[in-house]
Amino acid sequence: MKNFVLRIADWGIAMIAALAFIFILVFSGNASAMLTARANHDHITIDFFYHGSTVSIRGESDPNVDLVIKITAPEEHQVLKQKGKVGGLLWMNVGQLKFEHTPNFYAVYSTKKLDEMLGKEEMEKYVIGYPALEKHVAVTPAANEEEKAKWFNEFVKYKEASNVYVSSSGKISTTAKADGRQEYYILTDWPYQAAPGDYLVTVYAVKNGKVVEQAEAKVNVEQAGLVKTLATMAKNSAAFYGILSIGIALGAGFGVGLVFRKGGGSH
Amino acid sequence: MYLYLPVALTSINILVPVGLGLAVGLLSGLFGVGGGFLMTPLLIMFGIPSTVAAATDSNQIVAASTSGTYAHWKVGNVDFKMGMYLLAGGFLGGVVGVQAIKLLHAMGNADFVIKMTYVLMLGIVGVYMFIESLQSMKKKKTTVVEEAGEEKESAVGRFLKSLPLQTRFEKSGITHSIFVPIVLGVFVGVLAAIMGVGGGFLMVPIMVYMLRMPMHVVVGTSLFQILFTCIEVTFLQAYTNHSVDFVLAVLLLLGSTIGAQVGAVFGRKLKADQLKILLAGIVLVVTVKIIFELTLTPSLLISQAGGH
């Protein structure tokens, strides 16, 4: 269980502050203070007893801003099977759909409902929320916008079913600090379905329908120990792995057969 | 207790695969089927990706069928000679079937053909076995044993007898041309490759009704044959698709190896007709389930690519 205890983040606040400062220069004219973001579990290790984890993100912002926290995996190209009706009666796979520029993990949390705090253009610019993500991805084949919307909705349903897509508002808690700044905090469930890899946490400060500041943090998910050894072996020494799997199965079958002969006797 | 599966990339309660293994292993030992037609969809239902489910199931069947073959061999219910001929045919059929699948995919209607083949085969086998075993159970009740030695000489029977290279299968107490099991093996091999299943549910009725082997020898011989098929499939899946999850396979085989032993013991206490009618019932239930899946609107209209 020792491996399971997750190492606490060791981010230099100064570094993030510097990063945030650059964002201020780039994105904002009038913000006076700096937005910070820190993930407490930035390194999640997967061992045999891994059943998901939690990730909390905290930081400071100006007091009078709304916040959006987005966690994403790198964008990729995904091919999925498409079900349709054949002959007006039978449901079966009728072809493949390609989804381009789609992250395998996409979670958005916000202090208010997204469309109450951000304009459409702003959401699209930063790819915040499902409608913006829909605009961002390319779906082929899709003859028109209507068809694209249909399949994108199905795609989101599929991803939500395995807990790797989330969109919810109101989960971020904020508290005013003595120095006039605001502290925010969110604790999110990290699903075990999220594949090993690097994840990017982006925090957006929103004011008057616009993103005024941005800060980033990282979460890395990695397999460890025997889980890693087996996963690597399955990929890199496939022949040996196959023979080993067969050997163990044969051994187990014979072993149990022998045990039953000793135990069963009279049959 | 949950365990993480390194290839399936998901976490599963260990009671699920052990329990599934036990149940499906029991069916293997009883009826001589691998049980892939039950296990693979159940694993997918519990969140295992479809490609990993199919590949890992074949790895698990290696263990279950070893255990089952061993149990049936101890009481002399494996016809190794017949098994080898069927296996030779099945191997050839598999090669042909894989090419057929490639052709179907190129033509673009693979899924339709696969699903229809599946439903038709399951339906025909289930209904035929069900009616036949029901009739023979009734017959035995009314006319007792008198027709034990009855041998209907049908046109097909005469044709089979006229083929060259007739050979005696001692264990089964039958004589056939070696071409009969080889051709039947090819037939099952082609269909199994197209449907992506082991083919036990086809092989068992073929041995019973076309080769006229005694039911108890059929179960043992079928398991022996399945063992080799699944060794080959496991290796190919591990080597080309990297989709065998070793940890999941071990959890499954914990249950299935024991289930197969229990099934073999239990099967010896049942009469051949009782075994046949039970298997027919299971095959029919699976057929109905697939028909429902085909006609009801699915909750998700997209799914993972790869596998059937």
Interface contact flag, A246 B235, Cβ < 8 Å = yes
Instruction: Identify the closest residue of chain B to A50 by CA–CA distance.
Output: B4
| % of residues, chain B, pLDDT over 70 | 94
Q: Identify the residue among A93, A140, A190, A245 best suited for mutation to test binding to B, counting B beta carbons within 10 A and taking the highest.
A: A245
Closest chain B C-alpha to A55 CA, distance in angstroms: 18
Once rounded to an integer, what is the mean pLDDT over residues B35-41? Answer: 86
If you average pLDDT over every residue of chain A, what do you get?
85
Closest chain B C-alpha to A237 CA, distance in angstroms: 8
Judged against a pLDDT cut of 90, whether residue B147 lies above it is answered with: no
Interface contact flag, B303 A158, Cβ < 8 Å = yes
Q: How far does chain A reach from its first CA to its final CA, in angstroms?
A: 45
* DSSP three-state, residue A6: coil
Q: Identify the residue among A89, A152, A236, A260 best suited for mutation to test binding to B, counting B beta carbons within 10 A and taking the highest.
A: A260
Judged against a pLDDT cut of 90, whether residue A6 lies above it is answered with: no
Note the pTM of the prediction, 2 decimals. 0.81
Range of A26-40, A212-226, B106-120, B191-205 with top mean pLDDT: A212-226
Judged against a pLDDT cut of 70, whether residue B128 lies above it is answered with: yes
Once rounded to an integer, what is the mean pLDDT over residues A58-64? Answer: 90
pLDDT band at residue B191 using 50, 70 and 90 as cut-offs: confident
Q: At what angle are helices B246-269 and B15-31 packed, to 10 degrees?
A: 40
Phi, psi angles (nearest 5°) of residue A110: -145, 160
pLDDT band at residue A262 using 50, 70 and 90 as cut-offs: low
pLDDT band at residue A18 using 50, 70 and 90 as cut-offs: low
Beta strands A197-207 and A210-223, pairing class: antiparallel
Interface contact flag, A94 B111, Cβ < 8 Å = yes
Q: Given the structure tokens 């941005």, which residue do they identify?
A: A214
Which of B17, B183, B210, B55 minimizes the C-alpha distance to A238? B55
ipTM above 0.90, yes or no: no
Cis bond upstream, residue A141 (ω within 30): yes
Closest chain A C-alpha to B213 CA, distance in angstroms: 23
Q: What is the pLDDT of residue A104?
A: 93
pLDDT band at residue B304 using 50, 70 and 90 as cut-offs: confident
pLDDT band at residue B273 using 50, 70 and 90 as cut-offs: confident
Q: What is the pLDDT of residue A46?
A: 94
Q: What is the pLDDT of residue A98?
A: 93
Contact B202/B125 with Cβ under 8 angstroms? Answer: yes
Q: What is the pLDDT of residue B34?
A: 86
Q: Which of B68, B234, B298 sits opposite A91 (nearest CB)?
A: B298
Q: Which of A95, A196, A257 sits opposite B67 (nearest CB)?
A: A257
Chain B residues in contact with A98 by the CB 8 A cut-off are: none
**How far apart (Å, rounded) are the C-alpha atoms in residues A219 and B297?**
38
Chain B residues in contact with A257 by the CB 8 A cut-off are: 66-67, 70-71, 74, 257, 261
**How far apart (Å, rounded) are the C-alpha atoms in residues A102 and A72?**
10
Q: What is the pLDDT of residue B136?
A: 85
Q: What is the pLDDT of residue A212?
A: 92
Judged against a pLDDT cut of 50, whether residue A5 lies above it is answered with: no
pLDDT tens track for A98-118: 999 999 999 999 999 998 999
Output the CA torsion sign for B66, B69, B72, B74. Answer: negative
Q: What is the pLDDT of residue A19?
A: 52
Instruction: Identify the closest residue of chain B to A245 by CA–CA distance.
Output: B246
Closest chain B C-alpha to A205 CA, distance in angstroms: 34
Q: What is the pLDDT of residue A171?
A: 85
Q: Identify the residue among B72, B241, B246, B269 best suited for mutation to test binding to A, counting A beta carbons within 10 A and taking the highest.
A: B246
* DSSP three-state, residue B214: coil
Interface contact flag, B71 A51, Cβ < 8 Å = no
Q: What is the pLDDT of residue A15?
A: 52
Closest chain B C-alpha to A3 CA, distance in angstroms: 14
* DSSP three-state, residue A102: strand
CA distances to A228, B152, B174, B240, B272 from B146, rounded to whole Å, are 66, 14, 21, 56, 18
Chain A residues in contact with B265 by the CB 8 A cut-off are: 264, 267
Contact A214/A204 with Cβ under 8 angstroms? Answer: yes
**How far apart (Å, rounded) are the C-alpha atoms in residues A48 and B14?**
11
**Position with higher pLDDT, B164 vs A25:** B164
Interface contact flag, B63 A249, Cβ < 8 Å = yes
Q: What is the pLDDT of residue B224?
A: 93
Chain A residues in contact with B295 by the CB 8 A cut-off are: 89-91
Q: What is the pLDDT of residue B249?
A: 96
Interface contact flag, A91 B247, Cβ < 8 Å = no
Residue A171's contacts (CB-CB under 8 Å, 6 or more residues apart) are A109, A186, A188
Cα B57 to chain center, whole Å?
12
Chain A residues in contact with B4 by the CB 8 A cut-off are: 46-51, 192, 227
Judged against a pLDDT cut of 90, whether residue A89 lies above it is answered with: no
Is the minimum CB–CB distance between B74 and chain A shorter than 8 Å?
A: yes
Residue A165's contacts (CB-CB under 8 Å, 6 or more residues apart) are A105, A106, A107, A156, A159
Q: What is the pLDDT of residue A9?
A: 42
**How far apart (Å, rounded) are the C-alpha atoms in residues B42 and B171?**
36
CA angle B118, B124, B128 (to 5 degrees): 150
Q: What is the pLDDT of residue A24?
A: 44
Q: Which of residues 32-51 of B touch A (CB under 8 A)?
A: 47
Output the CA torsion sign for B63, B183, B160, B199. Answer: positive
Chain A residues in contact with B229 by the CB 8 A cut-off are: none
Q: Which of A47, A81, A248 sits opposite B302 (nearest CB)?
A: A81
**Position with higher pLDDT, B193 vs B281:** B281
Interface contact flag, B63 A250, Cβ < 8 Å = yes
Contact A234/A243 with Cβ under 8 angstroms? Answer: no
Q: What is the pLDDT of residue A42?
A: 81
Q: What is the pLDDT of residue A47?
A: 93
For chains A and B, count residue pairs whose Cβ atoms are closer than 8 Å: 180
Q: What is the pLDDT of residue B153?
A: 58
Once rounded to an integer, what is the mean pLDDT over residues B178-200? Answer: 85
pLDDT band at residue A124 using 50, 70 and 90 as cut-offs: very high
Chain B residues in contact with A81 by the CB 8 A cut-off are: 302-305
Q: What is the pLDDT of residue A68?
A: 94
Q: What is the pLDDT of residue B223?
A: 92
Q: What is the pLDDT of residue B143?
A: 57
Once rounded to an integer, what is the mean pLDDT over residues B229-244? Answer: 89
Q: Which of residues 97-156 of B touch A (CB under 8 A)?
A: 108, 111-112, 115
Is the minimum CB–CB distance between B10 and chain A shorter than 8 Å?
A: yes
pLDDT tens track for B72-111: 999 999 999 999 999 999 889 888 888 888 888 777 677 7
Once rounded to an integer, what is the mean pLDDT over residues B201-229? Answer: 90
Judged against a pLDDT cut of 50, whether residue A267 lies above it is answered with: no
**Position with higher pLDDT, A245 vs B44:** A245
